[in-house]
Amino acid sequence: MTDARPLGSDEAAFIAAARSGDPARFALITERHRRELQLHCYRMLANTEDAQDMTQETFLRAWNKRESFKGNATLRTWLYRIATNVCLDFLDRRDDRTSLPSEVLYLQPYPDRMLPEDPQDSVVARETVELAFIVAVQHLPPRQRAVFILRDVLGWPAAQAADALELTVASVTSALQRARVTMRARLPGRRLDWRSPATHELSDVERGVVKAYIDAHERNDLDGLTSLLRDGLRFAMLPEQGTVPMTAREAVDGWVAGGLFQRGHDDWRGIATTVNRMPAAVLYLRGPGDPEYRPFAIAVLHIVDGKIAELTGFDVTDEPWLELPPAL
């Protein structure tokens, strides 16, 4: 499918850069699309490092295919088409590392600083970036996943998505219907109109809970930590285990038994941040004899009525892509 549209300035500049054979000129034009393409790859793959690699592969393929771009579609659409197929090729090669039916053990958090900058863009709507959404999408078969993201997240017409994926419109329509059923089953109670405007900012309550969570660690206040957790908490520490529902007391007792708190004498510091448009706390731990606090874990929090309903933890040691301070 081609767009019935005049050649835009972006497309004209790209064609001129392609004809010049100058990679620096080419990169200057395509680089402005990096953040949104990288987020698209992250939705497809659930892994930040893989998304960064596949975005680079997208630009490499775009360079190699530059002569094929005639300006019939927007440059943005053309790059999305390449990125989608780069991800599908990657998924064809990647082993299925999902060992539990409800988890994606290669999941990584996505720092908000890497999101596209336009706060009004529906492509960064909070509901389509949160961890629960990203995990749910991974349980769609790859091409069904691509159809769902192109149609329901990016808002592409069926014919345009079919052209990008080399499918029929009927196949795209059928795949989308099946994907919507799966997403509704995996996100019960969540708002499912992903194309409408959504809030991006954390609430004052969410900020307060994150601060209290960090304070409880720094004071080694296990009772205070317990009071922040909702009974029926869903907890996961990836990639070691899947999500486990538990009471607040069970959660804290389990963390103590597992050595996370050494009888209330660990030396913690924390900083508040946001990943996946969600409140998060980065915890730093100071070991015996160490003058500095070292990155330990990031806790991504889903907060309901002032309590932590879901806590997904990620090991942040040796994860430079998060660009965290190396020590406090």
Question: What dihedral angle (degrees, nearest 10) is formed by the CA atoms of 17, 155, 48, 201?
Answer: 110
Who has greater pLDDT, 196 or 220?
220
Mean pLDDT to the nearest integer, 32-40:
94
Give 149's DSSP letter.
I
Question: What dihedral angle (degrees, nearest 10) is formed by the CA atoms of 43, 45, 50, 54?
Answer: -70
Instruction: Kindly report, residue by residue over 162-189, the tens digit of the pLDDT.
Output: 999 999 999 999 999 999 999 999 887 7
- The CATH class, in words, for 204-322 is alpha beta
Q: What is the pTM of this model?
A: 0.88
Mean pLDDT to the nearest integer, 127-152:
94
Q: What is the pLDDT of residue 123?
A: 67
Instruction: Kindly report, residue by residue over 78-122, the tens digit of the pLDDT.
Output: 999 999 999 999 999 886 554 444 567 789 999 999 998 875 565
Instruction: Kindly report, residue by residue over 299-321, the tens digit of the pLDDT.
Output: 999 999 999 999 999 998 888 88
* Helical residues (DSSP H) of 151-247, grouped into ranges: 158-165, 169-186, 204-218, 222-228
Cis peptide before 6 (omega within 30 of 0): no
Angle at CA of residue 31, ends 26 and 34, nearest 5°: 140
> How far apart, in whole angstroms, are the C-alpha atoms of residue 298 and residue 75?
37
Give 31's DSSP letter.
G
Domain boundaries, the chain: 9-186, 204-322
Q: What are phi and psi of 297, to 5 degrees?
A: -155, 160
Mean pLDDT to the nearest integer, 234-259:
76
